[in-house]
Structure 1
């Protein structure tokens, strides 16, 4: 197998490449979904997470695997270090990003929602919370609170002492707790809210739409400076309803339609123009009403949304 090619598994229609039968390849393939998810949760970008996996594979392929006692821990350590390096570059890049930055959405399998902790950790809302952490805090939180790695393992991954890791974990956990969604909302509740929301948009029922969204709802639209999008958060029910009303799903434009889907472990909507995906709409719900709307329009972030991406722990 070409060592420059990362073995693939867990994605619909993909399987490990022929010839990759050695123990090192088998270990990498066995943990590939975990490694991708670690990198994705640290970066919020599937494209960059795949690059991190490429770098992880190159380093893993170059060592004597017989000397590695715990391949999973070793691979997570490589992935974490590569993701931290890339995260610091991405943070500088985001400073010049045009308009609000949103994570790259992933089309996920329905069973991801069954793992409540995993689904919460890859949700758009949680990934935005993780964006507020410093790089090392983000790495520690992801490895400890999402993937339940031991403090000693994390210490080796980020070149800190276990005592320092405990302190960082405590600080990151408090930071996230103050900003994460207050309650877990079931997939069924989210689906019901999205169905009502979709019907309100499709019928142009402004009253029903206003009933669905909270008075202080926030809409974030990510066009990346490539396609039209609001350059600042849109705040308040009236303003958000006015923006959403421009979508135009009436019979005069039959090419436009909203399609239910599963994004980042949660029900979401695709706004389609014929066979092309224009936007991904994800929501955050509290007390039965939508309090946050995330509309990803940047075409560079929609290239993976037509095929399922495997995430795992």
Structure 2
């Protein structure tokens, strides 16, 4: 590539860097990984064929957003399969230098909470971590950055309607996360009903206590949707073990005991209406030791 073309390409890329980093940070929740994703986008752009690389890309913002989206999607899928955590602690998301009032209005209308385009709080990042990679990408790109469903669909290899459904499921979870159910008495009833239904293999009763978009997470991976979680719920009974309701960091959950020792816990996130939105199965003893577990 000629020096003039390289300089031109670098200038076009730098014009979009801040937005790309904002997209990547919201996708990944990690400043370090966001920088890696943006750098990978630059590498792919600079390797484009032809001496006029970059000049023939009419919509550079859309092209780069698609590349960064695909890179982030691969990173999220890898993180899920390897049960990894982000490389660094949460830091405020980088400011996006091209504010969009229409996008802000979309946030207020569709999500129902004041999510500003130039920042993402810890609470939202925690909720985003409960989403599948596809849901997270669809929600971030469409709801936070106004990317059309057709473009989202091309990144996740789905139809535009499927991309719309991914964003919709994510949106409902974000909205529901703003209204947690903190009533311990109601939590206990839901947990007891969940355990009883899991032991009996009663799928109808399980569905009654699960949010339609429930997510179950463990070291083995993520299962999303009430039907899918119900299909594997019998494993939560842990045959041969003693399962007891417990307060886990102040919320009602389940403790699995082997020979009197807590070796696994099920932490629940509840939404208003007494349903389970998230199930976290933790078997790592070091992680369990960091939690306050009180048997009930």
Tell me the TM-score normalized by structure 1.
0.46
Larger Rg: 2
Tell me the TM-score normalized by structure 2.
0.48
Higher relative contact order (CA 8 A, sep 6+): 1
